[in-house]
Amino acid sequence: MPNALRRFLIGRPIATQRAAHEKLPKILALPVFASDAMSSVAYATGEMMAALLIAGYLMGPLAISEYTIPLSIGIVALLVIVVTSYRQAVLAYPGGGGAYMVASDNLGPLPAQIVGAALLIDYLLTVSVSISAGSAAIRSLVLTMSDGRVDVNVVLVALVGIGIITLLNLRGVRESGKIIAVPVYLFIITLLTLIGAGLWQHYVGGGLNLANAPEVFEAARPRPETLHGTAMAAGVGVFLLLHAFASGCAALTGIEAISVGVTSFRQPAGRNAAITMVWMALILSVLFLGVSFLAVHVNALPETAEGVKLTVIAQIGRAVFGDGVLFAMLQILTAVFLVLAANTAFAGFPALGAIIAKDGFLPRQLANIGDRLVFDRGIIVLATLAGLLIWYKKADVHQLIPLYAVGVFLSFTIAQAGLVRRWLRLKSPGWWWKASINGFGATLTFIVMLVFAIVKFTSGAWLVVVLIPAMVLVFLRIHAHYEAMRAQLSIRDFDPSTMVVPKHAVLVLIPSVTRGVLRAMLYARSLAGEVRGIHIETDPDRTKRLRDEWVQFLPDVSLVILESPYRSVVDPLLRYLDEVQSERPNTQVTVILPEFVAPHWWQNLLHGQTGLVLKLALLGRKNVVVTNVRYHLAEEHVSLRDMLDVQKEFTGQK
C-alpha cells in the first residue's frame, strides 16, 4: 500500500541506464536552474531603492532618481564579471559542483567546505524566502479579490507549496523541468512586455503615467538636515551607496545554481551549461535594467516609504498597464514565479549535498540515487529544514531576508579566488587576462559580502556568520570519522593467514518447549559447535515441566537453568555469557532466540518482547552473535461462534 501510494505520487522507478535520457535540454534547464536568479528582479530594485531612501537623508533628496540607474548598471557589470567567471568554472569543471569544486580543486578541502556550508545555507534560505514571499503574494491576491473577506494562513500555504515542489522534485529532474517551464517563460514574456510597453510610452507615446502623485513623491522624499554637503556626510555617503549597491546585489543570488548542476545538462554538459548561463545573464540584465529604468521614470518609491503599499514592480505595472487584466496577470505570475524560484534550490541543494557527501564530509546516504534518479534524501532533508524554518519564522519574509546573500557572495569570492589560483598555476593562453577579471570580481564580491555582513549583522546575518564555521566543523568531524573508519576497516595490511575459523558455542534460549523452540533447536544443531539450551527460571513449577519435556525431546542436548531472583531475563543471561566467554576465550558465541511470528500485527502485540529486550542488551557485546529463529504461525480463522465456544465448554463440564 505505501508502495502504491509512492508510485502514484512520484512515479515508477527509473533504471540506471536511462540516466542519459533524463538529462535536460537547454530550454528546460533554464527554468529549472535560473528561476531563482531571475525571480530576484521581482525585488532587487525595490531593495536598492529602500537603501537609497535612507541615503537620501545624507546625500540629498535626489538620491533615488540620481543613483538607481547608475547602481543598476554597476550591478549588471558585476553580474557580467561573475557570470564570466562562472562560465569558465563550468567549462573547466563539467562534472558540476560549481564553486565547491573550484575551491576544492584549487584551494583545498577547507575552503571547499566553507563554500559548501555557505551554499547549503543559501539554498535553504532561497526556498524559505521564495516560498514565504510567494505565499504572502498569494494571500494579498486572495484578500484583494475577495475584498478582504477571505484570508488564508500564509504558513499553511507555504507548507503546501513546499510539499508540491518536493513531490515534483522527487518525480525527477526532467519532469519538474517540464511543469515549471510554462510559468517561467510566461513571466519572462510578461515582464519583457511591461518593459517594452514602458519604453514605448516613454520615448514614442505620450509619456509614462506616474506611479505616485507628485505630492506623495514629495512627501516621501527625505528632508536633508545639517549633514548634507559636509565632509563627514561624504564619507558616510560612500558607505550608504555601498549599502544600496549591496542591497541591489540580491539580483545576483541564484546565478551559481547552473554551475552546481552541470551534470543535469545534456552532453556536451559543460558547453550547454555555459550557453544557458549566458542566456540567463542576458535575460536577467535586460529585466533588471528595464525595471530600474522604469522605476525611476514612473516615480516609483520603495515599499518602506510612507504611504506606499505596492512593491516597486507592481507600481511600474500599474503605471504602464493600468488596473486591468495585464496588471493582475503580472501580479499572479510574480507570486507563482517566486514560489517556483524555490525549485532552483531544490535542484541545487541535493546535487551539492551529494558532491560533499561523496567527498566524505556529509553522511554518505546523501549521495545515494533514488528510485527516480534524483538525490531523494537531499530533497527530503531540504524540504524538512525549510518547512521547519518557515514554521518557526511564521513565513515572515522580513525575518528571513537578512540571513540571505552573505553565503552566496562568500562562495562567489572563494570560487573566483580559486579560479585566479588556477590561472596562475596553469598559465594557459590568456591567463593574465582571465586572472585579472576573476581577481577583480573576487574583490568586488568580497566587498559586497562584507557590506552585507556588517550592515545586516544585527538583524540576522550574525546567525549565518556563526553558522558557517559551525557547519564546517561538523563537516570536518564527519570526514575524520569516515577516515578513521576506513583505516580500521582497511584490508591493506591484513594478513590472510590470521583468518582462523573460531570454535563455536551455540546457546538457545528456552522459555518453554514448543514446536517453535524445537525448530530453533534444529537450526542450532545445523550450525557447527556445541549446543546448549538455556532456561531462565522465573517460576520453579514451570522448570520442572520443562525438564521432563526436554528429556523427552532433546535427551542428548544439555540444558542450563539460570536462576533469576529479580525476575529479570537479561541479567542472568549476561552473567552466564561472562562465564562462558572467560572460561573459553576466542570462542564464538551465538545466542539463538526462538521467536514466533503471528500473521497479524496486533497479534504480535499480545506476546512479550523479551527477544527484543535481549537483543538490545547484547548489542554492544563482542564475539556474541544474536540470531532470531522465527516460527511462522498460520492464520487462524475464528468466527463469533468459535469465540463463544469457550462458554459452551464450561457449560458442558458442569
Residues 584-623, interacting with a copy of itself (CB under 8 A): 588, 590, 596-598, 603, 605-609, 619-620, 622
State the Cα–Cα distance between residues 166 and 380, nearest whole angstrom: 7
Q: Is 530 in the site for a copy of itself (CB under 8 A)?
A: no
Helix, strand, coil in percent for the chain, rounding step 5: 70, 5, 25
Which positions from 142 through 171 interact with a copy of itself, judged by CB under 8 A?
none
Q: Is 626 in the site for a copy of itself (CB under 8 A)?
A: yes
* Segment contacting a copy of itself by CB under 8 A, of 200-208, 407-415, 457-465, 564-572: 564-572
Which positions from 235 through 274 interact with a copy of itself, judged by CB under 8 A?
none
Contact (CB, 8 A) for 161 and 134: yes
CB of 615 to a copy of itself, least distance (A): 10
CB of 101 to a copy of itself, least distance (A): 14
**Half-sphere exposure for 522 (CA within 13 Å, toward CB):** 8
Q: Is 200 in the site for a copy of itself (CB under 8 A)?
A: no
CB of 432 to a copy of itself, least distance (A): 20
Q: Is 515 in the site for a copy of itself (CB under 8 A)?
A: yes
DSSP codes of every residue in 301-331: --TTSTT--S-HHHHHHHHHHTTSHHHHHHH
Which positions from 469 through 498 interact with a copy of itself, judged by CB under 8 A?
473, 476-482, 484-485, 488-491, 494, 496
Q: Is the peptide bond before 268 cis (omega within 30 degrees of 0)?
A: yes
Nearer to a copy of itself, 581 or 603 (CB): 603
Which positions from 81 through 140 interact with a copy of itself, judged by CB under 8 A?
108-110
Q: Is 634 in the site for a copy of itself (CB under 8 A)?
A: yes
> Which one of residues 553, 575, 578, 612 is an interface residue with a copy of itself (CB under 8 A)?
553
> Which one of residues 3, 17, 226, 582 is an interface residue with a copy of itself (CB under 8 A)?
17
State the Cα–Cα distance between residues 530 and 572, nearest whole angstrom: 20
Q: Is 22 in the site for a copy of itself (CB under 8 A)?
A: no
> Which one of residues 503, 544, 545, 584 is an interface residue with a copy of itself (CB under 8 A)?
503
Nearer to a copy of itself, 297 or 372 (CB): 372
Grouping H, G, I as helix, E, B as strand and the rest as coil, residue 141 is helix
What cell was used for 58? Answer: 545624507
State the Cα–Cα distance between residues 319 and 294, nearest whole angstrom: 10
Helix (H) or strand (E) holding 590: strand 587-597
Which positions from 411 through 470 interact with a copy of itself, judged by CB under 8 A?
425
CB of 29 to a copy of itself, least distance (A): 24
Q: Is 396 in the site for a copy of itself (CB under 8 A)?
A: no
Nearer to a copy of itself, 458 or 651 (CB): 651
* Segment contacting a copy of itself by CB under 8 A, of 65-73, 380-388, 404-412, 563-571: 563-571
Contact (CB, 8 A) for 343 and 32: yes
Nearer to a copy of itself, 21 or 567 (CB): 567
Q: Is 528 in the site for a copy of itself (CB under 8 A)?
A: yes
CB of 439 to a copy of itself, least distance (A): 19
Tell me the angle at which helices 325-358 and 376-392 cross, rounded to the nearest 10 degrees. Answer: 120
Contact (CB, 8 A) for 168 and 176: yes
- Total residues at the site for a copy of itself (CB under 8 A)? 93
Helix (H) or strand (E) holding 359: none
State the Cα–Cα distance between residues 436 and 422, nearest whole angstrom: 12
Nearer to a copy of itself, 394 or 632 (CB): 632
Which positions from 354 through 373 interact with a copy of itself, judged by CB under 8 A?
363-365, 368-369, 371
- Residues in Cβ contact with 111 at an 8 Å cutoff, skipping those fewer than 6 apart: 103, 104, 414, 418
Cβ neighbours, 10 Å, residue 363: 15
Nearer to a copy of itself, 165 or 624 (CB): 624
Q: Is 633 in the site for a copy of itself (CB under 8 A)?
A: yes
Nearer to a copy of itself, 192 or 598 (CB): 598
How far lies 107's CA from each of 95, 114, 486, in Å? 18, 11, 25
Residue type, 290: G
Residue type, 53: L
Cβ neighbours, 10 Å, residue 398: 11
